Amino acid sequence: MEWSIKPLEGPLSAMNLRTSLAVAFFAFTSITSSSSAQHVSAHKASVLDVPARQAYLKTTTSPLLLSAMKGLHSCIKLDLVPAPVGYMRIPHHYLSGSHGPTNPAEAAATVAYGKFEQRITAGMNQYVATGSHAEAQCALDQLAVWAKGNALTDYDPHDKDNTQSWYQAEWTLCAAGVTMSVLVNDPALDLAEQKRVALWLDGAAHKLISYEKPGELGNNHHYWRALAAISVGVVGSDDVLFDYGVSVFKQAIGQLDKNGAFPLEMERHERAIHYQGFALQPLVPIAEFATRQGVDLYAYSANGHTLRDAIVFFGKAVDDPSIVKQYTEDEQMKGFGSDDFAAYPFFTARFGDADLPPSIVNGLKRPVMATRIGGSTTLLAVK
């Protein structure tokens, strides 16, 4: 039995009239302004071929993959995370502006979201690694709790003191969308529960992008919202969300300068290199989702540049931060970790690591993970 979701159904019916009209307007303009709208052809096509990956992992002798599997958490062993209730109100990430000291109040306010992301991706990763239906069910049940509470929908980024809630919604929806795109491959999971979760995700994703102006260029947040949209769009066979993700990816590549840098990320002072990488985290999975639907975004070129150019620039900048001096005189923050390299296993699984900067090659010699793009991406992609 199969199911699909029509855009603007489900949880959206409970939104206020103003937001509903904004969503409807965005969906309309997205459809009518695109002369080559893309379509979801397979709603079980995640960022990986789940059955093939499970078969591969059963016989792997790769020390890296074995290490990644050994280090996985268990959804079953982690505590249930109740759905946040009421209006989302998350303090700004930075104490002032868009860089500098971070705000400890923001970290405290987002603990539940981090635990939710960890728990659902843990169950999904265990399902991929071991085929455990219990772990997959645990992840789905956790998603269902937040679906019942209609989480990630009660915020308004027009409230200038509360834009961080919009950002948190996009990140957590990415984790939920990628997770759900894998879970739908488990035939033992209840279809009715899957549909309830998918309806919630669809409504939350439509609200997420309803606040953007069609055609407006943006920074990394624009790309994270696109990953949320395309992952949820694949699960629900929602062409509006899928096409939005593809369109934003193309916008992003069109923004690359002659060096492969994202100009808006280069404006982030001491965090310019960090934000170049942060912008790439959602873009690589977007390319993966699209390619699995027959839309080759890895090959997409704008102004002579492709996604690879942005990846190479990031790696070169990590190896030699002085190359960003042409953008900012600020001393660059270093200390790049697992999540900074977590998107690249998808890329190297397809294209290898030949000619990639040493920082990326070396960064992928150990297991890497980021909950917002699927947890252990080593597990999901490394060959």
pTM of the model: 0.92
Name the region of 360 (left: φ>0; alpha: ψ -120 to 50; beta: rest): alpha
Above 60 in pLDDT, residue 32?
no
Q: What are phi and psi of 172, to 5 degrees?
A: -70, -35
- Tens digit of pLDDT for each residue in 143-168? 999 999 999 999 999 887 889 999 99
How large is the angle between the packed helices 17-33 and 239-255, nearest 10 degrees? Answer: 70
H runs (alpha helix) in 236-376: 239-255, 263-266, 272-292, 307-319, 344-351, 358-363
Going from the C-alpha of 199 to that of each of 68, 147, 149, 167, 293, the distances in angstroms are 32, 8, 13, 21, 21
pLDDT of 19 strictly over 50: no
Angstrom distance (rounded) from CA 372 to CA 280: 12
Q: How confident is the model at residue 2 (pLDDT cuts 50, 70, 90)?
A: low
In this prediction, residues 243-257 reach a mean pLDDT of 97
Parse the chain into domains and list their residue ranges.
10-381
Overall average pLDDT of the 93-103 stretch: 85
- What pLDDT does 159 receive? 86
Question: Which class for 16: exposed (0-12), middle (13-18), buried (19 or more C-beta within 10 A)?
Answer: exposed
% of the chain with per-residue pLDDT over 70: 91
- pLDDT of 104 strictly over 50: yes
Q: What is the pLDDT of residue 6?
A: 52
Identify the weakest region by mean pLDDT among 63-67, 68-72, 156-160, 370-374. 156-160
Judge whether 370 and 342 are in contact, CB under 8 Å.
yes
Query: Where does the pLDDT of residue 5 fall: very low under 50, low under 70, confident under 90, or very high at 90 and above?
Result: low
| % of the chain with per-residue pLDDT over 90 | 84
| Residue 378 vs residue 102, higher pLDDT | 378
| Mean pLDDT, rounded, for 230-252 | 97
Q: In the CATH scheme, what architecture does the domain 10-381 have?
A: Alpha/alpha barrel (1.50)
Paired with 369 in beta bridges are 376
> What residues are paired with 102 via a beta bridge?
94
Q: Is a pLDDT exceeding 90 seen at residue 99?
A: no
Length reported for the chain: 383
